[in-house]
């Protein structure tokens, strides 16, 4: 996207009163967010930092905080990656169907159903995951273990209940599909009609039109959508806690019943009966999750900026 | 796309200015053939309906591009393949979503009744009927106040980022922190609100507004990010045209930029509401749990639907109801259905608002 | 004319607000008889009015619902009891900070992290009251095709949950079940993934009653690996979802699953309310406790006939005196109702808990009856 120069102030001389008030308001809102979010961060830091260096018995099996948090972090990232791998192509597919492929009669109900799903409470996703999805996937895992056991992901032994990290990832994927779809759909349909028609008029097929006119225009929004989805997948608490059979260490085995927990689900599971010292440890893990989302977002922004710069040239 | 590559073969045979295309009925024909062909292994190997659908779908996905490749060339084939993939993604995603909705409706619907919707859980005798009215009110009020807090702040902040900040240091910091906030686990937001209110109002504080604060922490990043995206998509030509007419910047934003992006902003806000309306952990901490209806978000405990669903599911009780479910589970599923319906209505209202206020454009 | 867009935007928001306000104007259909929260005291049979707030163990939640209902009924609906099922740890913290009037907890206060002293401080230097309120037998439930009754001793159960015995036809199991037709299915032990009093009581039983369990009694299940599930309902659905699964859960929640008969003394005992209450009654008091503190260390190695030592015991924690007269009356009245026959019976019907035995209930009654304002 080429950024054209916008007139910074339209009136000559001093800006009008309305302008001054409005821009102040916008600034205040921005600073309010800054303050609120910084407050959360500071709160986490104050409450969590003592949790970094507790006596060894606070960390269960592990002897240090890092030994305690590593499998949790791994579980968080693994579940989120599975969720993204599953959800992103599907979401973009749905978004394209709604914005460009399906006739309006079909597109509207599809969009509607997807939006509805954003509202299903995570508890219900969890319930559905245990009672409907996991039993269905269990035979698939047995099959995978038998026929694809040579791939480390499917080494087994396959879980008999189906409550594996792969199932948790799929549930997460279903939870983030509405988010990614809704935003991608909006940015796809915001593409200037003229660009699209110009591409078609040059003889482009529909797919070429999408590639030439829509995707470059929508790229930043698509990445934003994925990032929001990723944020939810990383921070999702109850559904993972309910679906996942947690309690293992770092392992790439996706279909066994021994899986690493995720940071958020671990907080939810262990917070209830926690003593003050234990809760500090849990909040410290929350801090780690914070840092991870920061790094991921940072990387994503960097990638987008680089590609935009290349495009601008 | 040079014009010379594609139409060579067909142009040599007959004088035509359009490239050869598959007939309009081609996708339907291929679909029919695929279904028929997939029926063979299904019949002989005894597979189920699901396998039949999968095999037929795959066949169709492969066969149509192949045919198109012969007739239309590789560009046409790619286009057909992508079309197939896009539709396939849609269908694949709809299956679990539909299954989930069906589960909720199937288990929740039998419980819905006037009593269920207008009674609270306050009882003075174990045989009395109960309902979810108190939780319904709690959810509506807490979410309403969360929206009142977060929507103006979120939209104004996004306006600052796009229209005023333009990548200065402060704007970069805000963007950065908003990004980090998207991944905050809801329970941490709850812990924060809890700590904040206890610090200010004393240890026995359980108020609905505390829940609203926690929820708005979760909503703000979504509102900011989606609004930011939509504002960024508003063409600069529109702004420049407005400035050229001598319209001040703030009125340009209010009258031109915001209405143009309204559809997307409304979607973003709805999404944000939908995201938080089902939150459990923060509300249990700060808003507490009560069996009575409370209309005042600024005093006393408030039950919300997700908290009710969560606690009822965790401790469903033992008495069997006529429906064969435990009483807690019935309430949980009924509550889940009601929650979805609420969001459906909100969604509908938001869309109507979006449509009414969207600028009238050519398409 | 300039303001049209604002007006246009204003109309629906006003409408939404008006709608929500009109909604808020009408109360719930079943609350009409009762005055609102601050309606002041009126002449009623129970004579009490106002709000009573508690927080704590989620295991008690359903029982608390039953007790609240009964207590509210006794006071003609002028009282509201609120119980936040935030978990024992948080409940204790809330109580200590003065956030709630009483707490429910799956384990008694101790001074490992200074909680007992802190609670004493909260109660104006007096020892906090701890009375047993909710007793629930923990069943070891299993799902194995073709087998619906199983006898096991503590050692065998411990080895199963420690992943030492891995198939159902292991001699250790077969010896105790000569009549059962045991398949060679692999055993999938299911444990709680969240911290819970149930896990603590179960591991406490394994540690004390068997010789092969080397872990401490903890809220978190100590053995790595194996199937883990969130909450009692999660464990139950995991057990019923697999084949060859075995796990532990509140007896009232296991539903149709088969339960293990546990070796106590010379005989195999199925979980029962009576057996659980019997164990609580015969268990020794925890050391160094005040008179008002009924904390007990459950006797897991009891050999008494009919006793079932795998039980969860949940306490109510309160102060002896409260500054506010009304608060003191409410706590006294509510806790007295809970430990009364009537209250215990209501909980047993709603939540499937085991009613306290009469000796325990009487002692508890005399302790909570002395709560006063001061």
As a three-state string, the secondary structure of A143-158 is HHHHHHCCCHHHCCCC
Q: How far apart are CA A273 and CA C57, in angstroms?
A: 8
Instruction: Flag if B119 and C86 touch (Cβ within 8 Å).
Output: no
B 227-266: CB under 8 A from C: 254-255, 259
Predicted local distance difference test score (pLDDT) of residue C50? 87
Q: How far apart are CA A281 and CA A55, in angstroms?
A: 11
On the 0-12 / 13-18 / 19+ scale of CB atoms within 10 A, B50 is exposed
Residue among A67, A197, B328 nearest C350 (CA): B328
Q: How many CB pairs under 8 A join B and C?
A: 143
What domain count does chain A have? 1
Whether residues C12 and C114 share a domain: the answer is: yes
Predicted local distance difference test score (pLDDT) of residue A10? 46
Q: How far apart are CA B266 and CA B355, in angstroms?
A: 10
> Is the residue at A184 inside a domain?
yes
CATH number, domain of C90, equals 3.40.190.10
Q: How far apart are CA C29 and CA C14, in angstroms?
A: 27
**Paired strand residues for C245:** C143, C188
Asked if the interface predicted TM-score (ipTM) of this complex is over 0.85, the answer is no
Say yes or no: B290 contacts chain C, CB-CB below 8 A.
Answer: yes
Domain that holds residue A151: 54-312
What domain count does chain B have? 2
Q: How many CB pairs under 8 A join A and C?
A: 109
Angle between helices A17-48 and B208-233 (to 10 degrees): 120
Q: C175 to chain B nearest CA, in Å?
A: 35
Residues C83 and B289 sit within 8 Å (Cβ to Cβ)? yes
Predicted local distance difference test score (pLDDT) of residue C336? 93
Predicted local distance difference test score (pLDDT) of residue B4? 46
Instruction: Flag if B204 and C53 touch (Cβ within 8 Å).
Output: yes
DSSP at C45: S
Domain that holds residue B36: 26-110
DSSP-based three-state secondary structure for C354: strand
> Is the residue at B59 inside a domain?
yes
**Beta-sheet pairing, C245-250 with C321-322:** unpaired
Q: For A22-64, how does the pLDDT look when each residue is reduced to its tens digit (9 = 90+)?
A: 889 999 999 998 888 788 888 888 888 888 887 877 777 777 8
Look at phi and psi of residue A273 and say left if phi exceeds 0, alpha if psi is from -120 to 50, else beta: alpha
Share of chain C above pLDDT 90, in %: 34
Q: Which residues contact C284 (CB under 8 A, 6 or more apart)?
A: C296, C297, C299
> Is the residue at A9 inside a domain?
no
Give the residue carrying structure tokens 């003191």: C328
Chains that touch B (3 or more CB pairs under 8 A): A, C
Dihedral angle over CA of B311, B313, B317, B319, nearest 10: 140
Q: What are phi and psi of C361, to 5 degrees?
A: -60, -40
How far apart, in Å, do the first and last CA atoms of chain C sit? Answer: 68
Q: pLDDT tier at A173 (50, 70, 90 boundaries)? A: very high
Q: Is the pLDDT of residue C12 over 60?
A: no
Q: How far apart are CA C210 and CA C110, in angstroms?
A: 25
For A173, the closest chain B residue by CA position comes to: B93
Look at phi and psi of residue A285 and say left if phi exceeds 0, alpha if psi is from -120 to 50, else beta: alpha
Whether residues C248 and C145 share a domain: the answer is: yes
CATH number, domain of B244, equals 1.10.3720.10
Whether residues B75 and B35 share a domain: the answer is: yes
> Is the residue at B259 inside a domain?
yes
Predicted local distance difference test score (pLDDT) of residue C34? 44
Q: Which two tokens stand for residue A170?
A: 């799929």
Residues A59 and B200 sit within 8 Å (Cβ to Cβ)? no
> Is the residue at B71 inside a domain?
yes
Angle between helices A276-312 and A263-271 (to 10 degrees): 160
Predicted local distance difference test score (pLDDT) of residue B361? 55
Whether residues B139 and B239 share a domain: the answer is: yes
**What stretches of A259-307 adopt beta strand conformation (E)?**
none
CA C266 to chain centre: 30
Predicted local distance difference test score (pLDDT) of residue A7? 45
Domain end, chosen from C215, C240, C272, is at C272
Chains that touch A (3 or more CB pairs under 8 A): B, C
> Is the residue at B207 inside a domain?
yes
Among A267-281, B160-174, C321-335, whose mean pLDDT is lowest?
A267-281
DSSP-based three-state secondary structure for C292: coil
Residue among C315, C333, C308 nearest C63 (CA): C315
> Is the residue at B123 inside a domain?
no
Q: How far apart are CA B161 and CA B156, in angstroms?
A: 9
A51 chain-C contacts, CB cut-off 8 A: none
Predicted local distance difference test score (pLDDT) of residue B181? 76
**Paired strand residues for C140:** C248
For A137, the closest chain C residue by CA position comes to: C241
Q: For B62-77, how does the pLDDT look when each residue is reduced to its tens digit (9 = 90+)?
A: 888 888 888 878 888 8
Q: How far apart are CA B160 and CA B224, in angstroms?
A: 10
Q: Which residues contact A276 (CB under 8 A, 6 or more apart)?
A: C93, C113
Q: Which residues contact A64 (CB under 8 A, 6 or more apart)?
A: A56
For B17, the closest chain A residue by CA position comes to: A203
For A255, the closest chain C residue by CA position comes to: C227
Whether residues B281 and B329 share a domain: the answer is: yes
Helix segments in chain B, DSSP class H? 8-13, 26-45, 49-72, 74-108, 114-118, 133-159, 169-181, 186-201, 208-233, 236-244, 249-252, 258-277, 281-286, 305-314, 327-357
DSSP at A119: T
Q: Which two tokens stand for residue C211?
A: 């010789």
CATH number, domain of A240, equals 1.10.3720.10
Say yes or no: B359 contacts chain A, CB-CB below 8 A.
Answer: no
DSSP-based three-state secondary structure for B21: coil
Domain that holds residue C248: 137-272
Say yes or no: B96 contacts chain A, CB-CB below 8 A.
Answer: yes
> Is the residue at A194 inside a domain?
yes
Q: Among A241, A249, A257, select the one facing C188 at the smallest CB separation.
A: A257
Q: Which two tokens stand for residue B158?
A: 């996004």
Q: Which two tokens stand for residue B125?
A: 């005798």
**Paired strand residues for C84:** C55
Domain end, chosen from C249, C272, C295, is at C272
Residue among A279, A227, A242, A177 nearest B190 (CA): A279
Q: How far apart are CA B170 and CA A202, in angstroms?
A: 44
Look at phi and psi of residue A191 and say left if phi exceeds 0, alpha if psi is from -120 to 50, else beta: beta
Q: For C229-239, how does the pLDDT look when each residue is reduced to its tens digit (9 = 90+)?
A: 888 888 888 88
Predicted local distance difference test score (pLDDT) of residue A87? 93
Average pLDDT, chain C: 84
Q: How far apart are CA C133 and CA C295, in angstroms?
A: 11
Whether residues C166 and C245 share a domain: the answer is: yes
C241 chain-A contacts, CB cut-off 8 A: 130, 134-135, 138, 160-163
Among A15, A88, A169, A186, the residue to mutate for chain B (most B Cβ within 10 A): A186
**Beta-sheet pairing, C150-152 with C102-105:** unpaired
Q: Which two tokens stand for residue B262?
A: 């309204």
Q: Is the pLDDT of residue C11 over 70?
A: no
C 201-240: CB under 8 A from A: 219-222, 224-231, 234, 237-238
Residues A117 and A180 sit within 8 Å (Cβ to Cβ)? no
DSSP at A259: B
Whether residues B83 and B160 share a domain: the answer is: no
What is the widest separation between alpha-carbon atoms in chain C?
A: 93
CA angle A61, A66, A70 (to 5 degrees): 80
Residue among A135, A244, B309 nearest C240 (CA): A135
pLDDT under 70: residue ranges of chain B: 1-19, 46-47, 183, 319-324, 357-363
Give the residue carrying structure tokens 């969590």: A48
Q: How far apart are CA B151 and CA B258, in angstroms?
A: 14
Look at phi and psi of residue A21 and say left if phi exceeds 0, alpha if psi is from -120 to 50, else beta: alpha
**Beta-sheet pairing, C188-192 with C129-143:** unpaired
> Is the residue at A34 inside a domain?
no
**Paired strand residues for C150:** C260
Mean pLDDT on C31-46: 45
Give the residue carrying structure tokens 């935030």: C86
Q: Is the pLDDT of residue C120 over 60?
A: yes
Q: What are phi and psi of B98, to 5 degrees?
A: -65, -40
Angle between helices B133-159 and B208-233 (to 10 degrees): 40
> Is the residue at A20 inside a domain?
no
Predicted local distance difference test score (pLDDT) of residue C86? 84
Domain end, chosen from C272, C291, C323, is at C272
Q: What is the CA radius of gyration of chain B?
A: 28
Predicted local distance difference test score (pLDDT) of residue B269? 87
C188 chain-A contacts, CB cut-off 8 A: 160-161, 257
DSSP-based three-state secondary structure for C228: strand
Whether residues C230 and C116 share a domain: the answer is: no
Residues A188 and A95 sit within 8 Å (Cβ to Cβ)? yes
Predicted local distance difference test score (pLDDT) of residue C24? 53
What is the widest separation between alpha-carbon atoms in chain A?
A: 77
C8 chain-B contacts, CB cut-off 8 A: 356-357
What domain count does chain C have? 2
Mean pLDDT on C144-167: 90
DSSP-based three-state secondary structure for C219: coil
Q: Among A162, A273, A274, select the one facing C197 at the smallest CB separation.
A: A273
Q: Is the pLDDT of residue C279 over 60?
A: yes
Residue among B153, B148, B152, B170 nearest B161 (CA): B170
Rounded to two decimals, what is the model's pTM? 0.81
Q: Is the pLDDT of residue C268 over 60?
A: yes
Whether residues C297 and C309 share a domain: the answer is: yes
Q: How far apart are CA C188 and CA B113, in angstroms?
A: 42
Mean pLDDT on A262-289: 80
Instruction: Flag if C233 and B316 touch (Cβ within 8 Å).
Output: yes
Whether residues C128 and C113 share a domain: the answer is: yes
């Amino acid at each position: 996207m080429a950024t054209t120069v916008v007139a910074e102030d339209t009136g000559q001389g001093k800006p009008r009163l309305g302008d001054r008030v409005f821009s102040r308001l916008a600034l205040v809102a921005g600073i309010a967010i800054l303050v609120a979010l910084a407050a959360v961060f500071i709160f986490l830091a104050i409450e969590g930092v003592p949790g970094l260096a507790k006596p060894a018995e606070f960390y269960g099996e592990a002897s240090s905080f890092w030994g305690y948090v590593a499998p949790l972090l791994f579980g968080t990232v693994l579940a989120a990656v599975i969720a993204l791998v599953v959800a992103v192509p599907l979401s973009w597919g749905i978004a394209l169907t709604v914005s460009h492929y399906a006739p309006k009669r079909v597109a509207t109900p599809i969009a509607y159903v997807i939006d509805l799903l954003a509202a299903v409470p995570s508890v219900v996703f969890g319930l559905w995951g245990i009672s409907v999805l996991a039993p269905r996937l269990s035979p698939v895992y047995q099959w995978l273990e038998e026929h694809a056991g040579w791939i480390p992901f499917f080494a087994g032994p396959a879980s008999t209940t189906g409550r594996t990290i792969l199932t948790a990832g799929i549930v997460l994927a279903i939870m983030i599909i509405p988010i990614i779809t809704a935003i991608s759909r909006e940015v796809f349909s915001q593409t200037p009609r003229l660009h699209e028609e110009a591409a078609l008029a040059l003889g482009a097929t529909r797919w070429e039109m999408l590639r030439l006119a829509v995707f470059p225009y929508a790229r930043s929004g698509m990445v934003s959508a994925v990032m929001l989805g990723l944020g939810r997948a990383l921070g999702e608490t109850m559904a993972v806690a309910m679906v996942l059979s947690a309690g293992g260490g770092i392992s790439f085995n996706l279909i066994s019943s021994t899986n690493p927990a995720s940071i958020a689900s671990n907080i939810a599971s262990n917070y209830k009966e926690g003593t003050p010292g234990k809760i500090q440890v849990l909040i410290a893990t929350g801090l780690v999750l914070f840092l991870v989302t920061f790094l991921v977002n940072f990387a994503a922004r960097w990638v987008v900026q680089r590609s935009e710069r290349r495009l601008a040239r | 796309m040079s014009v010379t590559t594609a139409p060579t073969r067909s142009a040599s045979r007959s004088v035509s200015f359009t490239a050869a295309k598959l007939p309009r009925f081609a996708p339907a024909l291929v679909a029919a053939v695929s279904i028929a062909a997939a029926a063979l292994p299904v019949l002989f190997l005894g597979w189920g309906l699901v396998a039949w659908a999968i095999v037929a779908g795959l066949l169709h996905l492969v066969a149509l591009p192949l045919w198109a490749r012969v007739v239309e060339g590789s560009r046409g084939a790619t286009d057909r393949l992508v079309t197939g993939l896009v539709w396939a993604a849609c269908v694949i995603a709809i299956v679990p979503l539909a299954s989930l909705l069906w589960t909720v409706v199937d288990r929740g619907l039998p419980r819905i009744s006037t009593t269920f919707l207008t009674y609270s859980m306050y009882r003075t005798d174990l045989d009395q009927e109960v309902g979810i009215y108190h939780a319904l009110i709690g959810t509506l009020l807490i979410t309403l106040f969360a929206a009142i807090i977060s929507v103006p702040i979120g939209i104004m902040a996004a306006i600052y980022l796009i229209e005023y900040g333009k990548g200065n240091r402060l704007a970069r910091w805000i963007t950065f922190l908003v990004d980090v906030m998207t991944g905050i686990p809801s329970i941490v937001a709850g812990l924060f609100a809890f700590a904040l209110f206890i610090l200010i109002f004393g240890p026995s504080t359980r108020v609905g507004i505390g829940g609203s604060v926690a929820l708005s922490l979760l909503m703000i990043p979504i509102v900011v990010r989606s609004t930011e995206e939509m504002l960024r998509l508003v063409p600069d030509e529109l702004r420049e045209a407005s400035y050229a007419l001598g319209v001040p910047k703030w009125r340009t934003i209010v009258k031109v930029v915001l209405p143009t992006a309204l559809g997307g902003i409304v979607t973003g806000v709805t999404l944000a509401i939908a995201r938080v309306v089902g939150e459990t952990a923060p509300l249990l901490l700060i808003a507490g749990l009560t069996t009575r209806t409370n209309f005042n978000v600024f005093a006393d405990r408030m039950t919300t639907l997700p908290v009710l669903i969560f606690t009822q599911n965790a401790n469903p009780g033992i008495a069997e109801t006529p429906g064969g479910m435990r009483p807690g589970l019935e309430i949980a599923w009924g509550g889940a259905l009601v929650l979805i319906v609420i969001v459906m209505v909100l969604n509908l209202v938001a869309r109507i608002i979006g449509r009414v206020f969207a600028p009238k454009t050519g398409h | 004319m300039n303001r049209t867009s604002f007006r246009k935007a204003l109309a629906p928001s006003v409408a939404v607000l008006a709608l929500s306000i009109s909604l808020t104007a009408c109360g719930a259909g079943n609350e009409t008889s009762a005055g609102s929260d601050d309606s002041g005291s009126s002449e009623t049979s129970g004579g009490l009015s106002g709000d009573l707030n508690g927080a704590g163990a989620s295991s008690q939640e359903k029982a608390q619902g039953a007790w609240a209902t009964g207590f509210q009924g006794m006071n003609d609906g002028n009282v509201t009891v609120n119980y936040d099922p935030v978990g024992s740890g948080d409940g204790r913290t809330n109580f200590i900070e003065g956030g709630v009037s009483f707490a429910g907890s799956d384990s008694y206060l101790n001074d490992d992290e200074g909680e007992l002293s802190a609670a004493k401080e909260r109660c104006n230097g007096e020892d906090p009251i701890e009375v047993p309120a909710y007793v629930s037998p923990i069943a070891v439930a299993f799902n194995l095709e073709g087998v619906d009754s199983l006898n096991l001793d503590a050692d065998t159960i411990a080895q199963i949950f420690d992943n030492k015995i891995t198939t159902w036809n292991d001699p250790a199991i077969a010896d105790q079940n000569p009549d059962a037709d045991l398949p060679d299915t692999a055993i999938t032990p299911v444990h709680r993934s969240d911290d819970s009093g149930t896990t603590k009581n179960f591991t406490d039983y394994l540690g004390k009653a068997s010789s092969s369990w080397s872990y401490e009694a903890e809220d978190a299940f100590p053995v790595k690996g194996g199937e883990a599930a969130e909450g009692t309902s999660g464990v139950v659905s995991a057990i019923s979802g697999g084949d060859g699964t075995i796990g532990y859960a509140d007896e009232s929640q296991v539903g149709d699953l088969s339960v293990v008969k546990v070796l106590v003394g010379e005989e195999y005992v199925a979980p029962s309310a009576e057996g659980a209450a019997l164990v609580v009654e015969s268990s020794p008091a925890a050391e160094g406790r005040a008179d008002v503190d009924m904390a007990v260390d459950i006797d897991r190695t009891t050999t008494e006939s009919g006793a079932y030592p795998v039980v969860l015991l949940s306490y109510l924690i309160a102060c002896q005196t409260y500054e506010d007269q009304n608060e003191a009356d409410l706590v006294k009245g509510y806790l007295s109702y809970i430990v009364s026959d009537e209250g215990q019976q209501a909980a047993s019907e709603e939540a499937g808990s085991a009613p306290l035995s009469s000796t325990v209930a009487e002692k508890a009654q005399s302790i909570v009856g002395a709560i006063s304002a001061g």
